[in-house]
């Protein structure tokens, strides 16, 4: 059976850590930041992890 190709869109957005968790970036941090509070933008800096329900699907898109 041939190798499965990596989903390029998913590869740009997600990364699988050693623990098996899938790391993602926070949304609402790209533009129109002037109306968002400083507290809100600071909290969006930290890492976020994908929910267990979506983890399996994303790992299939990233076969490495």
Read off the pLDDT of residues 31-42 as tens digits, 9 standing for 90 and up. 999 999 999 999
pTM of the model: 0.81
Of 15 and 64, which is predicted with more confidence? 15
Query: Residues 29-55: what's their mean pLDDT?
Result: 95
pLDDT of residue 27 exceeding 80, the answer is yes
Q: How confident is the model at residue 62 (pLDDT cuts 50, 70, 90)?
A: very high
The CA R_g of the chain, rounded to the nearest whole Å, is 15
Give all strands of the β-sheet with 22-24 in edge-to-edge order: 14-16, 22-24, 48-49
| CATH of the structural domain 8-61, one choice from 3.30.390.10, 3.30.450.30, 3.30.565.10, 4.10.410.60 | 4.10.410.60
């Amino acid at each position: 059976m041939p190798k499965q190709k990596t989903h390029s869109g998913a590869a740009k957005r997600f990364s699988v850590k050693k623990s098996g968790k899938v790391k993602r970036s926070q949304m609402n941090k790209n533009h129109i930041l002037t109306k968002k509070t400083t507290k809100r933008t600071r909290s969006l800096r930290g890492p976020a992890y994908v929910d267990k329900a979506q983890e399996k699907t994303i790992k299939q898109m990233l076969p490495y």
